[in-house]
Amino acid sequence: MKKSFYSYILTYRGGAANDAKIQFAEACFRDTSFPKMSTSFEELSQYIEMQGDDILAASTFDELWSLYVEKYGE
């Protein structure tokens, strides 16, 4: 079974605080409204865009999404 995007990005938690992927993962962990069960690019990217946050940056999301798709497929 394919992991949710949230489950995947949690693997980035706990690393160097100056890494954008780690900051993104930490911010998602603290965000109680993040769509934790989603595997949908559209749903997740829309959520990220609505947040308009420097840490939840669309560019970091795109990078993490590429890595997620590489590992689990679309």
Q: How wide is the angle at C-alpha 27 spanned by C-alphas 53 and 3, nearest 5°?
A: 115
Position with higher pLDDT, 47 vs 1: 47
The residues, ordered by sequence, that sit 6+ positions from 43 with a Cβ below 8 Å of its Cβ are 35
The yes-or-no verdict on residue 1 having pLDDT over 80 is no
- The residue type found at 65 is W
How many separate domains does the chain show? 1
> What CATH number corresponds to the domain at position 39?
1.10.150
pTM attached to this predicted model: 0.90
pLDDT tens, 23-73?
Answer: 999 999 999 999 999 999 999 999 999 987 888 899 999 999 999 999 998
**Which tokens go with 52?**
């308009």
Q: pLDDT grade, residue 5 (50/70/90)?
A: very high
Domain with 33 in it = 5-72
